[in-house]
Structure 1
Amino acid sequence: MDKADDKKAGHMKNSSDVSERAEEAEGKESEKKGLSKGKKIALFVLIFLTLFVLGYGGWMIKHHMDYAITNAVFVDTENIINIGFQRVGGRIIKMTKREGDLVKKDEVIARIDPKDYRLAVKVLEEEIEATKKRKEGLEITLQRITPQVHLNVAKAKRRVQALRKEIESTKSEIRAMDAQIAQLKADRRRYWNLYLDKAVAKHDFELVDTRLKVTTRKREALKKKLQALVLNQKAANDDLKIAKADLKRIAETKKSIEELGKKIASLEVQLKDARLQLSYCTLKSPITGRAAKKYVSVGDVVGPGTPVYALVDPKDIFILVLLEETKLKGVGPGCPAEIKIDALPGEEYEGVVDKILPTSAAKFALVPRDISAGEFTKVVQRIPVKVKITKGNISKLVVGMGGEIEIKRKKR
């Protein structure tokens, strides 16, 4: 019975060994199949990566052939506007902008103390007002006295002429009297001789003698009248001179009025200029842009034309590209470009090549290369290329920022 049991146990052990070997063989077969599948996946990945690298490399080569790419890119401007107070100077009392602030056209950005300029305007206004009043007073006086003076001159002239005629008439009468007196004196002598010869009566002699005396008295009266007329004529001439002097004063008054008018015009020009200078005490921005630099501070004293701010106009901003000479092939005006600014990673900018400058950047270096001694090391030169921005938020750009650019080459 023990043998039967041992035989039975041996049989069971053999069956168990057979099962283990079968399972082991099956495991090895499964492992072989799994390893073969892993090799296939790895091979597939390797092939995919190889194709990807080859494709990406080909694309990069073609991209570099189609585009001129560089990171020597700078934001630049055509013009930095330095502004200050025109024709006026003084102590700055207000500045409204800091460096980097946005400014609008005609916005007040600074002021200087306007006290002296305001006083100058006030003095000129008061002087103009006083001069106008003086001119108006002279005009009123001239308007009042002119008719009277002309009337006095006319009256004086008429009186002088009348007296002259009367003097001439009196002189004529005196001459006639002199002739009569001469005749009467001859008649008296003749009648006196006739009277002595008893040829005429004494009454006839006395009659002639009386006539001589009466005529002589009339002559003396005319002589006195002539003297009075001459005195009156002298007085009339004096009156005429006075009237004519008044005419000269009228002419002088007219000249004074004219000079005052010229003075008023001159003062008004000065006032206009003083008001203009007063307006210059307020500094306004000539553009809409950004304050790039503030040269002075509140409390500083500045002179006429001294720069106060440096302003940048966004319209003048462009991209300056220092492109290697070896990459210039196919690059020219009109080529489109894509621009990336390092400080603005979220912004996209597009542009177009405006011009290629005619000299290399090294030509204007602070210390240019000296090859006159014969020593020369070939260095790839960079050519400045100006790119005009056509798309993107230019207001965010700051002059001096750097970036990267891709310029599409022209196909030939």
Structure 2
Amino acid sequence: MAHFWQSMRTGDWLTATRARGYSLILLAVCILAFAGWIAVAHGPIDRNGKPLGTDFSNVYAAGALTWRGRAADAYEPALQHAAEKAIFGGRDVPFYGWHYPPFFFAVAFLVAAVPYGWGLAIWCLAGFAAYLAMLRAILPRGETLLVAAAFPAVFINVGHGQNGFLTAALLGFALHLLDRRPWLAGVLIGMLAYKPQFGVLIPIALLAGQRWHTIAAAALTVAALVALSFATLGGDVWHAFLDSMKFTQQIVLEQGGTGWEKIQSIFSAARNLGADVPTAYATQGALALFLAASIAWLWHGEAAFELKAAALALGSLLATPYVLDYDLVVLAVAIALFARHGLSHGFRDYEISLCAAAWLVPLLSRAMAGATGIPLGLIVLLTFYGFVLRRAWRDRTVASRSRQLAKA
């Protein structure tokens, strides 16, 4: 047992050979599982009566409605569900709601220009390519692409036909380009407004870091997206979006229509453990205040940029009450940034093992929460965030002592 904990502390157990081997095994198993899943499907419907790519059907249906000049119907559950059924010849498929701001209709419009299967393939492959390119840019090492491709959140995201790749790519590239191309970073952050729940902490970080050019670019980008949506879709679609937010909040989030085990937030964990809605919101609010204060401290200080950026990626996942396990693709951004810092400056106790746990947790979080109520994903996210803050504090302490010794 002592040897086990020593190995966990040092991280010596995770050799490059093992990392490649584990990644290849998981990648092969998941590819075979997906191939089998598609092979036994009845056209675009799987054996469980769900569309291949499940959630992608809401994007495709919203795009189909846009082609017919009825974009606002996507925010009405009955009309959106009817559009989803129509894609599959009237089959009674489950309902997948459309909750995105109106400017995201542009993406839905494009993928709905081709048949459903092709749209799903383009959606997944384009997002996956952007995700891999982003991680390769952050961590340009030989094993990056393999480990990134085998990250379990990748398969959850593909299985749901979700947008985790796009979210991760926008945030990761924005952070990667923040110093060298601040205006482009701001444009990417502005485009991330299609998932507004992930933007809670980004303004705080940018203000604390005095990133004025990036703030301006982000604000102008959001304004341009809103204006473009008004010009192309009209004002009614925005009224429909705002009206739909009550349904999203009450049914999808507060009543757990999505499933508590899928949502990785502290709000969901509290609700899953029996807390009422006000208590769950209070818990989420307390965590959000802590995250805001710690992000402001970190970005205003002299911590290494990789630690600031990793904390922001993690904090963006933790600050929102509505974060699904497929959104954990964003966790790869934090892992890559933290690993880059550790590879350059050395890893401290348990940091390598923690990165491995963060890499693996999307594979286990839903099953663990569903079977036991234990929010494993949340626990790992909080632990990882704490380790990033600890590393920033210790690095600052070491740097301060070095400066004092130099003066002496």
**Normalised-by-shorter TM-score class:** under 0.3
TM normalised by structure 1 equals 0.21
Query: Taking CA–CA contacts closer than 8 Å with sequence separation of 6 or more, which of the two structures ends up with the larger relative contact order?
Result: 1
Q: Give the number of the structure whose residues are more often helix, by fraction.
A: 2
Q: Give the number of the structure whose residues are more often strand, by fraction.
A: 1
TM normalised by structure 2 equals 0.21
